[in-house]
Amino acid sequence: MFESHGHEIIPFEDVVKRGSLDVLVCTAAQANEAILVAFDGDMKQIAKRHGMSHDRFSRLNLIKFSCPEPMGHKRIEFAMSFVEHEWKVSEAKAARRLYVEIGKQFLKSYR
């Protein structure tokens, strides 16, 4: 879905080993100035613990799915214009950061 909208995809296995700690995955995403797309329930906690109030991941860009993984394709298809809009908003800020949560029946942006 991302590629069909012209976005480059970097599978995390190309950057870190499968099974790596979430903190390492977040560090790799931030170092590559990439948007981390995660179905991992812990990512929201890491973003809150380290991203919202701590300098360590203050520039981590995250799209967090809170819906069942089989629904992910349909949900991102529905949410893509919202995500792209939020990216444009974040680019205009000095402290550029995207944090979008896609749930079963909701879309949230944490600015």
Q: HEC string of the chain?
A: CCHHHCCCCCCHHHCCCCCCCHHHHHHHHHHCCCEEEECCCHHHHHHHHHHHCCHHHCCCEEEEECCCHHHHHHHHHHHHHHHHHHHHHHHCCCCCCCEEEECCCCEEECC
The verdict on residue 66 lying in a domain is yes
Question: Is 93 within the bounds of a domain?
Answer: yes
Residue 111 falls inside a structural domain: no
What percent of the chain has pLDDT above 90?
44
Domain count, the chain: 1
What confidence tier does 47 reach under pLDDT thresholds 50, 70, 90? low
To the question of pTM greater than 0.95 for the whole model, the response is no
Residue range(s) defining the domain that contains residue 9:
3-104
Report the chain's mean pLDDT, rounded to a whole number.
85
pLDDT of residue 43: 67
Residue 62 tokens, joined: 């995250």
- Per-residue tokens: 14: 């190309």
What pLDDT does 52 receive?
46
109 assigned to some structural domain: no
pLDDT in tens, 5-33: 999 988 878 888 888 888 888 888 888 88
- Percent of the chain whose predicted confidence (pLDDT) is above 70: 86
Residue 43 included in any domain: yes
